[in-house]
């Protein structure tokens, strides 16, 4: 057993968990709705059955922090159209391959002969471009602020190496505008946010102070282990019960107020904020990160004219409402019936960070 294993185990210690749960029960006097932003947090909550340990007055709803889930359908269809081109090697993280577009998914296209490769980093895609000068190599650059620095580094590396057959199809999103969008909805039930610890590792949490004061809502930067999550919930409930609404950091072993300045610098060098569609939610102003003009040569959307994209969302899927915390996966009539991880109708059932996937994988465990 190595030190890393010991370290993570200490954040799963059942006695410590019970202690924090007891503290949460002690301070909770009324109903509260909390949203965890990140799909990784949703999976940890379901995996460890943390929702089952909480007092019944506390409801956890699941936020939009699943990059695969919020990548808009038109961009997925565009990815498919580009991947079909015979001159293209299309590179993507593995999670995206099963995400249904309007007609097919990338797995199906690969089975039909398209050159689609799973990579673990955009830098792998740059290497593929270097090794295949007669091909166009496209990386599907999806994700939140956590993945953007590596995407930016791939562009800078391609430029420095004079690699011209590399481009990225961009669908990057930012968390703070999504928090604004959720809280300004007249249907919002969210009374406190557990902010995504890994996003804050990169971006810090300085941007959250104005959100907390504008909407009078506690925001607690929270990690991913059981104790991290319970500590985030405890701090949120303590604030709610005391009518406070400030930003607190319950993940101080990884997150600084100003985040990772070097990572932010590289992001700002290559990308700029832009409006972006979120699947199931719609357009959120300034919620995306697009390539700056000086890097437009690397923009796959400009490089490949794939014509008009006509999308067709599966009519039964309620992913948009789940991503806004308005409904739960169990509310979907297709859940576990016509929609399963092997036959997904929507992205939240595919992704390792999707709420539907988490419920499917762990709900039996929770009910046992």
CB-count burial class (<10 Å; 0-12, 13-18, 19+) for 16: middle
Q: Which of 217, 222, 221 is nearest to 246 (CA)?
A: 217
The Cα 49–Cα 202 span in angstroms is 28
Name which position in 240, 270, 318, 358 contacts ligand SF4 (CB under 6 A).
318
Name which position in 139, 298, 335, 362 contacts ligand SF4 (CB under 6 A).
335
The Cα 338–Cα 333 span in angstroms is 8
CB of 39 to ligand SF4, least distance (A): 12
**Stretch near ligand SF4 under the rule CB under 6 A, chosen from 124-132, 203-211, 237-245, 343-351:** 343-351
Name which position in 11, 197, 346, 353 contacts ligand SF4 (CB under 6 A).
346
CB-count burial class (<10 Å; 0-12, 13-18, 19+) for 332: buried
Q: Is 152 in the site for ligand SF4 (CB under 6 A)?
A: no
**Stretch near ligand SF4 under the rule CB under 6 A, chosen from 166-174, 221-229, 281-289, 312-320:** 312-320
Q: Is 269 in the site for ligand SF4 (CB under 6 A)?
A: no
The Cα 143–Cα 174 span in angstroms is 9
Name which position in 212, 291, 356, 358 contacts ligand SF4 (CB under 6 A).
356
Q: Is 96 in the site for ligand SF4 (CB under 6 A)?
A: no
The Cα 287–Cα 296 span in angstroms is 19
Tokens of 144: 């939140």
**212: Cα separation from own chain's centroid:** 21
The Cα 196–Cα 64 span in angstroms is 11
Q: Is 193 in the site for ligand SF4 (CB under 6 A)?
A: no
Q: Is 196 in the site for ligand SF4 (CB under 6 A)?
A: no
Q: Is 61 in the site for ligand SF4 (CB under 6 A)?
A: no
Which helix (H) or strand (E) segment is 62 a member of? strand 58-65
Q: Is 358 in the site for ligand SF4 (CB under 6 A)?
A: no
Q: Is 332 in the site for ligand SF4 (CB under 6 A)?
A: yes
Q: Is 125 in the site for ligand SF4 (CB under 6 A)?
A: no
CB of 168 to ligand SF4, least distance (A): 26
C-beta of 48 vs 359, nearer to ligand SF4: 359
Number of H helices, E strands in the chain: 17, 11
Q: Is 316 in the site for ligand SF4 (CB under 6 A)?
A: yes
Binding residues (CB under 6 A) for ligand SF4: these are: 316-319, 322, 329, 332, 334-335, 339, 345-346, 348-349, 356
């Amino acid at each position: 057993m190595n030190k890393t294993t010991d370290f993570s185990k200490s954040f799963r210690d059942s006695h410590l968990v019970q202690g924090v749960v007891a503290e949460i029960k002690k301070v909770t006097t009324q109903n509260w709705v909390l949203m965890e932003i990140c799909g990784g947090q949703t999976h940890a909550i379901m995996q460890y059955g943390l929702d089952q340990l909480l007092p019944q007055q506390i409801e956890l709803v699941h936020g939009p922090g699943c990059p695969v889930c919020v990548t808009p359908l038109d961009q997925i269809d565009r990815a498919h159209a580009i991947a079909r081109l015979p001159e293209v090697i299309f590179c993507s993280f593995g999670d995206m391959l099963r995400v249904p577009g309007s007609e097919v998914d990338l797995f199906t296209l690969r089975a039909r002969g398209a050159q689609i490769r799973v990579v673990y980093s955009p830098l792998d895609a740059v290497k593929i471009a270097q090794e295949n000068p007669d091909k166009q190599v496209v990386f599907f650059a999806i994700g939140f602020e956590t993945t953007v620095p590596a995407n930016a580094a791939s562009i800078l590396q391609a430029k420095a190496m004079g690699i011209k057959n590399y481009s990225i199809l961009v669908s990057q999103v930012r968390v703070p505008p999504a928090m604004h969008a959720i809280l300004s909805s007249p249907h919002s039930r969210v009374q406190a946010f557990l902010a995504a610890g890994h996003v804050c590792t990169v971006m810090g949490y300085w941007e959250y102070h104005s959100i907390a004061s504008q909407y009078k809502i506690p925001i607690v930067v929270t990690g991913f282990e059981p104790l991290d999550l319970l500590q985030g919930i405890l701090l949120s409930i303590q604030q709610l019960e005391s009518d406070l609404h400030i930003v607190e950091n319950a993940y101080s072993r990884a997150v600084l107020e100003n985040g990772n300045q070097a990572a932010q610098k590289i992001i700002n060098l290559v990308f700029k904020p832009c409006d972006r569609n979120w699947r199931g939610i719609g357009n959120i102003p300034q919620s995306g990160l697009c390539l700056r003009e000086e890097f437009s040569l690397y923009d796959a959307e400009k490089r490949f004219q794939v014509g008009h994209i006509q999308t067709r969302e599966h009519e039964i899927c309620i992913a948009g409402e789940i991503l806004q915390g308005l409904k739960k996966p169990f509310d979907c009539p297709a859940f576990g019936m016509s929609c399963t991880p092997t036959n997904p109708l929507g992205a939240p059932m595919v992704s390792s960070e999707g709420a539907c996937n988490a419920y499917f994988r762990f709900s039996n465990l929770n009910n046992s």
